[in-house]
Structure 1
Amino acid sequence: MTAEHMPGGHAARTVESVVRNELSGRVAGHVVQAGVIHGDVHTGDLYVHPRRERVVPRQLVLPPRLFTGRTQHLAALTHDVAEQDDAGATVAIAVIGGPGGVGKTALALHWAHRNIDRFPDGQLHVDLRGFAPSGEAMSPEVAVRGFLDALGVEPAAIPPGLDAQAALYRSLVAGKRMLVVLDNVRGSEQVEPLLPGSPTCTVLVTSRRRLTGLVTRHGARPLDLGVLTEAEARELFTRHVGAARVATEPHAVAELLGWCAGLPIAISVVAARAARHATFPLAVPAEELREESERLDALDGGELTASLRAVLSWSYRALDREQADIFGLLGLAPGPDISLLAAAALAALSRPRAHAVLQVLEDASLIQQHVPGRYRMHDLIRLYATEQADDDQSRDDRDTALRRLADFYLHTAFAADRLLEPHRPLMEIDPPLVPVVPGGLPHWMPDRAAALAWLDTEHPCLLATHRLAVTRGWHRMVWQLAWTLTAYHGRRGHLQDDLAVLRAGLLSAHRLEDTTALLWAHQFLGAAYALVDRHADAFDHLGQALDLAQDAHDVTGQIHTHHAFTWLWEVQEDDQRALEHATSALRLCRGLDQPVWEADMLNSVGWFSARLGHHEQARTDCQAALALSRRHHYPQGEAYALDSLGYLAHHTGDHRKAEDYYQQSLALYRNLGDAYDEAIILDHLGETQAVLGHHDQARHNWQQALELYRTQHRAAEADRTQSRLDEHGDREHRNAEIPAGGA
């Protein structure tokens, strides 16, 4: 068809404005039938080219057959679209983000097909191959030309240049209720030319990266997609292999799903393999996944899109060398997550540089910042990262990075320990074995509360680092990290963790042939065994510690070992032997200029004197311990002495005074974060309040003590407190049944 020449006076018009006229059926007074304007806006030469009959594009690919769960995400998409419809100002854009294999495309397509009636004017879909195996993403020019073709534009009528093509595309969808699905996007710039300009349209974007540009510039709603819940994962697996088979082997199913950790691609690959061998027991694929070194092989479905390793490789190849190396090191790092400062130590980067790299990895959905400043990986992504570190970095580089991280944890834990227990014997820890970034070691903490908070947060990572040190044979690290954690473990009641690190610390002290380390390892381990009622082991280790201290004329070691013996004899209910050790410790202490230690030993002598009925002597010693602790700003010793004075007042009939002492002691223990002793004081306080007739308060405090005992796995104390609660409840019930005035 011959083009109709248009007057040159219209050169100021843009292609988009002219096309709007065409869409209304008139251009410069001429009626246009089924034509598209094309021309050079700079010269004013505009042409009308024929367009095919109006088509309604239906480009959505098939929805996932076994889509499962995601109820909240589906509802969030519907809500956002409806909200945007109500606002009516701009196009509704939702960005579905998450790592490879988490089901972003599946969610977008499932929602699109469920809501297809919302878009009677058509649905456009394009895979932009942002993370394609070839590494070559689709250009916006290719994508928009595909959309124009789907909208019925003849090739000859497509203007040159991306800007003009995008303008034509926006004009053609203007005012129409259409859905545009932009799948597998690499970056915001790739999709911006593909965004409609009409508020009647809805856009779903999927990407492994956080497309901040779409959010900030175009008001897109981010929707981060995590792993499936346990129930959703089981449902997806069941739909693949059948309910009967799942019911037959519940333990194998639980193990399989545990290794997949909620990642849809992993579940689907495992389920497909199980379905392919329908006569095999599910224990077979479970065994394949059990071996960590072969787990990613077991999650290979034989095709690029059905191989977890292949899917993750597409994201990995998009990283530069520095980002890729740090990604690999993060896979090696011990613990369930890592802080920004620890990651900086691991990578030998400044904090700002480390933050920038972690931001890239987070934007690529390879790591997740699950709380501010802390990052974690999905277990299977971690396995892949570890593989890349093994392949791409030398063993020396990997070991050096891990040692930097371990030194960061050790030195920061030591600094935290000095804030918690500034008066306990000082251990000289080794300087960092490898250089670290200036100012990065240790992490600075202003006070005791900050130290306790850091230890609470990092405790799983510290335990994992200790296990790493054991595995690597870093014996001084093993022993020194065990030392630094004992005070914290005692305060929080982590008794089994304390035993684990101290047992390993003792073995390392033997390998080091370090007499001082052996002395303290035996002493700490003996005290730890005493607290978990393993009395024979406690006597053995404390006896060895005392022998070593006496042979070495180590007065400090003797004092603290005698003190530990007092706890052990107390639980053996031999208060006289306990008093003898406390008296020996006090005598040795008075030869040193250590007033805080002297306060502890005075309190121990007073406590056991009170238990033996020597009340006046006990009161004198405990009050002296209280005064000494207050004079030297030693709140732990103050709390100990107040507990002893409360016990003394309770057992001499002054219950109101006992209650006051216990309340003061409780406040101090809570301020110190000492949950272990807090439980004991709550127990004592409940006893006194019960005698005073404050039954509700007594029950409340016993209940709190019971919860702490259970949390700390102190079974004997928990059983005793539960019995006390039951007995007290029964007594109150019986008293309530007796009529006023007596029987």
Structure 2
Amino acid sequence: MLIRLIGPVRIEHAGSVEPVGAPKRASVLAALAARPGEPVSQAELITRVWGTEPPETVVGVLYTYITRLRASLRSSPAAIHRAGSQGYVLDVPAGEIDVHAARALAAEAPGAADPLANWRRACELADGTALAGIGGAWAEGFRASFAAERLNLLAGRYAAELEAGNHEAVLADLAALAAAEPLCGPIAEHLMLAYYRCGRPADALAHFEKVRRRVRRDLGADPSPGLRDLHLRVLDQDPALEPPGAGRSMLPPDIASFTGRDGELAELAALTADGGDSPIAAIAGPGGSGKTALAVHWGHAQAARFPGGRLYVNLRGFDRGEPVAPVEALGRLLGALGVVGDAVPSDVDSAGEMYRGLTTGRRVLVVLDNARDAEQVRPLLPGGGCMTLVTSRDRLTGLVAVNDARPVPVTVLSADEALELLGRVLGDERVRAERAEAEALAGLCGRLPLALRIAAANLAVSPVASIASYTAELRGQDRLAALAIDGDDDATVAATLELSYRVLAGDARELFLRLGAIPGEDAPRELVEAVSGLAERACATALRKLVSGHLLEEHVPGRYRMHDLVRLYAAARAERDLTAGELEAVVDAFIGWHFERAHQPHNPEETNVIMALDALADDPRSWRLVYSLRATINEGRFLDRIRPAILRARRLSEEAGDRVGVFRMTSQLANLHRVHFDHSIAIELGREAVEMATGLTAMELAPAKGNLGIYLSEAGDNVEAERLLTEASDLAAAGGNIRTLVIFTNAVVQVRVMLGEYERAAAHLHGVETRHPEATAPYRGQFRLYEAIILTGQHRFDEAIAAAERGLAIARRAGNGYLEAQCLGELAAVHARAGRLKHALDLHRVELASGRDGRRVTIVRESLEALAHVEARLGHFDDAERHMAEGQASGWSRTAKGRSLSMLTLAVIHNGRGRHGQARELASEALEIYRSMPWRAQEADALHILADAHEGLGDREAAAACRAEAAALVPA
């Protein structure tokens, strides 16, 4: 926030400006803001606002004003508090008030990383008349005092501007200020110096004479000693009056709208302090990121540090023409140092020696812009006591390693900096009025400074156009083509990227094109190798070149991505430069790589695959991509995106006569309906899939039968499910389809545990794991979970906990959030069955949070019901009902498992509230469902809850019979 005392008193907060209102109320705020954090007595406030003759009701009026001001400040960090019995204090940091902020900026300027930025911001804050519209003696005094203070701020700012060599840029402003303040000596001195440095000494002398006459007429005195001394020095053409690095200031003009980069500016400032005798900064980043602007801005701001001059040469390392040869660059640098014509050596070594000799010890800043590589830069490094800034799209790793250069990476702007840049070009008010659209525009520009400047420039020349309409235009057409300035071929994002592409050769260029041909946000190294068509070592070399050239980023270890605009450019180049056959091969490798990983326990590539399904919507091979989302479907994520992709891929497979594709998509559609709890449709589609697979091979028939078994189990038919799952396992084992055998181990274990066949479940698990150790290795965590499920059913609780904890540890090491949640759920189930309900409650809560965080719909549904049941058993009936209602809303109660567990939970709640008749009906109905499945452990639970209902109704005989029957179901 900012409390404004300069101009009309107002409060700026969260992008809005709130006028304070009546002048007297504004005066109260101003009187408090003049001394933030310090008590102001009631008497002093009254005197400042009303003078020596306040109205009789002044105390009440003051209180009213204070109340209204508190309301105005309520949503801000500032507050007005009582100070003692009769006084008030404004509680706000001084930096949140423009007057104090300006003072602080000026005080901090000498030691700041960018002193000139401090002075400019201070003067920006101080621009205007203080307490505008407020009368009274105190206000008039404040106004007059601040007017003098503002003049001092301006004098300080223009001194810094001149020190930075900006005499030409500020001359007009200085002339206007000197006309408005003719008796201000420092301003007169600055204007004279600016005239002199602009090659206009006659104007400097004329201004001195004008000031001398005015001072004599108005004050009856002579000009100040400083002004008189400057007059003599101008007459003598004193060389010391030349700007820092006079004759050697080659930097391009600074950009007035330079924005952000505080961290990078601070790094450069720190390098001057701790970078040794001859610090070198390697400013590296992608094209259009503002590397040159950063180097030039810092060079202007730090001019005082380099009295020997500021040299600049564009090496054209990334340009349409050839890079500048080192000997040619040395000729330009020597020319700036006064060596011209035949005096310039013709060979690199001799020219380099002369250059280093002329710069040694002279504190020169050398900016080597747009370097191709370290080899081009090394001959151009100056002598000792100088600083070098090198900008390049290459990382200049060799310069860092051999010449001790300090890397200063430059990436895209932050979200706030991007908005600030748009505001500086378009005006803050325009951006504030369409903030959401401006944020969207920054996103479409990838927060790349060049793209942002082009977009802002296009909007600036069309002041009636809205940001929203321009953003819609960018979305609706070729974005790279739209990010251009009409009539300026160089002012385009595409042209900038073209220069980076031109320097690529061989494998690096080929890899760039191939990566441009694949969809997705990023790619793991293994996928990059698969689509590259290169050997592993050659691919690694090409990758390093692309990363070094900032065309690719390794944003996390082993994963690579392109900036949004680079990706658009790469896709367009791939379409243009690769043949149809090459494009087909890249896409085929991309799809094949994902398809090979379809049976992994979880899919870290799911977001990229879903993007690819949109990009390859009409490709008949797309069913393989859909198939790779098996784990995603099982976890219940992105189902609204996946369903249309399944239907589309099945149709394409039918049209292509791809029977396997039709079968796989039918199976995935059935599984999607299972996750949606549409079990009747899932079973119908599952039977269709079995029929399709019968005409194919055991590779298809085994999973078809196994999937149908899962659907039947969840619908409540465990007997038929166990038969089908056993057949599927036997088929898979006989056909050598070990992967399918391993995947269906879970379902076989689950069904046999529900049937109470614990020994058969354990034998199957042990047999698969011991006979196929390599195939089961990726599923070690899952197998420990299956082991825990069996042990829980056998009431071997301590062993079950140990197994589930081993599975949990494996899941966490692997980053498998789905398995982690499953293990937490099983641990909770073990503790609940062992009677440790509070521990179970805590674990179910963690399980639920894990499911929500990972957007795992299936985990959330099941954990809600399990949590509700434990809460009911603990007597937390309201919580249980709330979680049960949330679980039922998700559709979980439409399954046999969900419906029966809901009934048992409600029965526990009814028993707890004394409604034993209702509890008996629900427990009896749940018991029948469990018997029909059958599910022996849950059957026993239902019998116990039914016994409690009978007990509550006074039927002890029936209660005892239920408990005896339940005991018979528990393993010995």
The interval holding the TM-score normalised by the smaller chain is: 0.7 to 0.9
SS for the counterpart of 1:196 is coil
Please report how far the alpha carbon of residue 506 of structure 1 lies from its aligned counterpart in structure 2 after TM superposition. Answer: 2.8
Please report how far the alpha carbon of residue 270 of structure 1 lies from its aligned counterpart in structure 2 after TM superposition. Answer: 0.3
Q: In the alignment, is residue 136 of structure 1 matched against residue 282 of structure 2?
A: no
Q: Distance in 1 between matches of 2:485 and 2:287?
A: 14
Q: Distance in 1 between matches of 2:322 and 2:699?
A: 69
CA contact (8 A) 2:254 2:300 kept: yes
**C-alpha distance after superposition, 1:74-111 (max 9, x if no partner):** 22222222112xx43xx111111112111001111122
**C-alpha distance after superposition, 1:35-65 (max 9, x if no partner):** xxxxxxxxxxxxxxxxx98973322222221
Please report how far the alpha carbon of residue 644 of structure 1 lies from its aligned counterpart in structure 2 after TM superposition. Answer: 3.8
Please report how far the alpha carbon of residue 322 of structure 1 lies from its aligned counterpart in structure 2 after TM superposition. Answer: 6.1
Work out which of the residue numbers 180, 183, 197 in structure 1 matches 2:366: 180
Work out which of the residue numbers 720, 724, 729 in structure 2 matches 1:580: 720
Q: In the alignment, is residue 109 of structure 1 matched against residue 254 of structure 2?
A: no
Q: Unpaired runs of 5+ in structure 2?
A: 1-237, 880-972
CA separation of 1:459/1:657 partners in 2, compared to 1, >3 Å: closer, same or farther? closer
Please report how far the alpha carbon of residue 513 of structure 1 lies from its aligned counterpart in structure 2 after TM superposition. Answer: 3.7
Work out which of the residue numbers 688, 693, 699 in structure 1 matches 2:842: 699
CA contact (8 A) 1:241 1:274 kept: yes
Please report how far the alpha carbon of residue 113 of structure 1 lies from its aligned counterpart in structure 2 after TM superposition. Answer: 2.2
AA in 1 matched with 2:672: A
The 5 Å alignment of 1:120-159 reads: 120-133=307-320, 135-153=321-339, 155=341, 157-159=343-345
Please report how far the alpha carbon of residue 276 of structure 1 lies from its aligned counterpart in structure 2 after TM superposition. Answer: 1.2
SS for the counterpart of 1:306 is strand
Q: Distance in 1 between matches of 2:729 and 2:469?
A: 64
AA in 1 matched with 2:289: V
AA in 2 matched with 1:506: R
**1:679 matched to which residue of 2?**
821
AA in 2 matched with 1:140: P
**1:713 matched to which residue of 2?**
856
Please report how far the alpha carbon of residue 325 of structure 1 lies from its aligned counterpart in structure 2 after TM superposition. Answer: 4.6
The 5 Å alignment of 1:286-685 reads: 286-300=471-485, 302-320=487-505, 323-339=508-524, 342-372=527-557, 374-407=559-592, 409-410=593-594, 413-414=595-596, 416=597, 420=600, 456=604, 458-465=605-612, 467=614, 469-471=616-618, 473=619, 475=620, 477-486=621-630, 490=634, 502-535=646-679, 537-548=681-692, 552=695, 560-561=703-704, 563-569=706-712, 571-572=714-715, 575=716, 577-586=717-726, 603-609=749-755, 617-633=756-772, 638-639=783-784, 641-649=786-794, 656=798, 659-660=801-802, 662-663=804-805, 666=808, 675-685=817-827
CA contact (8 A) 1:241 1:271 kept: yes
**C-alpha distance after superposition, 1:615-637 (max 9, x if no partner):** xx434443444444455355588
SS for the counterpart of 2:478 is helix
CA separation of 1:208/1:561 partners in 2, compared to 1, >3 Å: closer, same or farther? closer
Identity score, percent: 28
Q: Unpaired runs of 5+ in structure 1?
A: 1-51, 422-451, 610-616, 735-743
Please report how far the alpha carbon of residue 699 of structure 1 lies from its aligned counterpart in structure 2 after TM superposition. Answer: 1.3
Q: Distance in 2 between matches of 1:681 and 1:245?
A: 53
Work out which of the residue numbers 242, 261, 269 in structure 1 matches 2:427: 242
Q: Distance in 2 between matches of 1:326 and 1:515?
A: 34
**1:9 matched to which residue of 2?**
none
AA in 1 matched with 2:313: V
Aligned residues: 622
Q: Distance in 1 between matches of 2:638 and 2:819?
A: 12
TM-score by length of 2: 0.57
Q: Distance in 2 between matches of 1:142 and 1:389?
A: 36
**C-alpha distance after superposition, 1:516-543 (max 9, x if no partner):** 5434432333123212434454244224
Q: Distance in 2 between matches of 1:128 and 1:555?
A: 65
CA contact (8 A) 1:583 1:605 kept: no
**2:453 matched to which residue of 1?**
268
Higher relative contact order (CA 8 A, sep 6+): 1
The 5 Å alignment of 1:75-114 reads: 75-84=266-275, 87-88=276-277, 91-114=278-301
Q: Distance in 1 between matches of 2:511 and 2:807?
A: 48
Work out which of the residue numbers 358, 382, 387 in structure 2 matches 1:196: 382
TM-score by length of 1: 0.73
CA separation of 1:186/1:466 partners in 2, compared to 1, >3 Å: closer, same or farther? same
Please report how far the alpha carbon of residue 368 of structure 1 lies from its aligned counterpart in structure 2 after TM superposition. Answer: 2.8
Please report how far the alpha carbon of residue 124 of structure 1 lies from its aligned counterpart in structure 2 after TM superposition. Answer: 1.4
Please report how far the alpha carbon of residue 66 of structure 1 lies from its aligned counterpart in structure 2 after TM superposition. Answer: 1.1
CA contact (8 A) 1:603 1:640 kept: no
**C-alpha distance after superposition, 1:309-364 (max 9, x if no partner):** 22222333334476545433332222223455544554533333334444443333
CA separation of 1:493/1:148 partners in 2, compared to 1, >3 Å: closer, same or farther? same
Q: Distance in 1 between matches of 2:340 and 2:730?
A: 100
Q: In the alignment, is residue 59 of structure 1 matched against residue 250 of structure 2?
A: yes
AA in 1 matched with 2:312: H
Q: Distance in 2 between matches of 1:482 and 1:344?
A: 22
AA in 2 matched with 1:65: A
SS for the counterpart of 2:519 is coil
CA contact (8 A) 1:510 1:518 kept: yes
Please report how far the alpha carbon of residue 115 of structure 1 lies from its aligned counterpart in structure 2 after TM superposition. Answer: 2.0
CA contact (8 A) 1:185 1:207 kept: yes
**C-alpha distance after superposition, 1:477-533 (max 9, x if no partner):** 333444455258648977677656644443344234454543443233312321243
Larger Rg: 2
AA in 1 matched with 2:761: C
Q: Distance in 2 between matches of 1:292 and 1:686?
A: 54
Please report how far the alpha carbon of residue 234 of structure 1 lies from its aligned counterpart in structure 2 after TM superposition. Answer: 1.5
Q: Distance in 2 between matches of 1:667 and 1:74?
A: 45
AA in 1 matched with 2:623: W
Taking only aligned residues, the RMSD between alpha carbons, in angstroms, comes to: 4.0
Please report how far the alpha carbon of residue 208 of structure 1 lies from its aligned counterpart in structure 2 after TM superposition. Answer: 1.6
CA contact (8 A) 1:502 1:525 kept: yes
Work out which of the residue numbers 357, 370, 373 in structure 2 matches 1:171: 357
Work out which of the residue numbers 257, 263, 271 in structure 2 matches 1:72: 263
AA in 2 matched with 1:71: D
Please report how far the alpha carbon of residue 398 of structure 1 lies from its aligned counterpart in structure 2 after TM superposition. Answer: 3.0
CA contact (8 A) 1:502 1:521 kept: yes
SS for the counterpart of 2:269 is helix
Q: Distance in 1 between matches of 2:560 and 2:764?
A: 46
**1:217 matched to which residue of 2?**
402
Q: Distance in 1 between matches of 2:873 and 2:429?
A: 51
Moved more, 389-398 or 228-237: 389-398
Q: Distance in 1 between matches of 2:688 and 2:706?
A: 14
